[in-house]
Amino acid sequence: MKLFPEDLLYSQEHIWIRVEGNLATIGITDHAQEKLGEIISLDLPEDNSSVERDEPFGRIKSAKAAVELISPVSGTVINVNEDITDDIGIINSDPHDTGWMIVVELENPEELDDLLDTGEYQEFVTREEEIG
């Protein structure tokens, strides 16, 4: 069963974002990790690097595919989850909590207005699956 936590915003690139003040914690959705299968490697940016909305901030590789991780917001990376570099399987087992990837200090909070809420993301995933 897919998880769609209510406290998150989502991008159409299957990235979730949890906002607290001007900080955004970012990771891949349960749907994305399910489609990718077992994650085997991950490349993430360094602390203090910049990320740009709609641009890659990293790369994830699984047995099925290698995909770029597209940032839903612009800002400065202030924290990278070192735990997932030590145990990459956390992304598969807990993508919305301990499987977070980066924390970004938001440059332009208005970018959040373009993201999907939980209901909109569920509808998007359902339509995507119907199309095949």
Arithmetic mean of pLDDT, 30-39: 95
What pLDDT, on the 0 to 100 scale, is given for residue 14?
A: 97
| 37-56 confidence digits (pLDDT tens) | 999 999 999 999 999 999 99
Any idea where the domains of the chain sit in the sequence?
9-131
The helix/strand/coil state of 84 is helix
What pLDDT, on the 0 to 100 scale, is given for residue 15?
A: 98
What CATH number does domain 9-131 carry, 3.60.20.10, 2.40.50.100, 3.40.50.2300, 3.40.50.10440? 2.40.50.100
For every residue of 95-112, DSSP letters joined together read TTTTT--EEEEES-GGGG
| 60-104 confidence digits (pLDDT tens) | 999 999 999 999 999 999 999 999 988 999 999 999 999 999 999
Q: Which helix (H) or strand (E) holds 17?
A: strand 15-20
Q: Is the pLDDT of residue 128 over 80?
A: yes
What pLDDT, on the 0 to 100 scale, is given for residue 92?
A: 95
Instruction: Note the pTM of the prediction, 2 decimals.
Output: 0.95
Q: Is the pLDDT of residue 1 over 70?
A: no
Cα 25 to Cα 99: distance, rounded to the nearest angstrom? 10
